[in-house]
Amino acid sequence: MSLKALQSMVESGLGIGVMPAAIVTPPPHNTLIKTINHLNLKLPVGIATLPEKSIPGLTLDSLTQTIRNEIKSA
């Protein structure tokens, strides 16, 4: 979902959203902005490929290994 779509849904009264302050500056009509402090949000990252459409090669292998190493060290 795009941040713009989330912002529009919140503005329409469908719920709340957590997004960067820069996206909601200035605040949209009918929207209350609250700052969240000391919250450590992490975004899961991964690679999904279809077996029949895989892109073999050293570049993809290197990227995949780098992501795996970063995930292990996080």
Q: What would the pLDDT profile of 36-73 be if each residue is shown by its tens digit?
A: 887 777 766 666 666 666 666 777 778 878 888 887 87
**Per-residue pLDDT at 56:** 65
Write phi, then psi, for 55 (nearest 5 degrees): -110, 95
CA angle in degrees (0–180, nearest 5) for 2-47-59: 120
pTM equals: 0.43
**Per-residue pLDDT at 50:** 64
Contact residues for 21 (Cβ-Cβ < 8 A; gap 6+) = 33, 35
- Whether residue 7 is predicted with pLDDT greater than 70 in this model: the reply is yes
**Per-residue pLDDT at 55:** 61
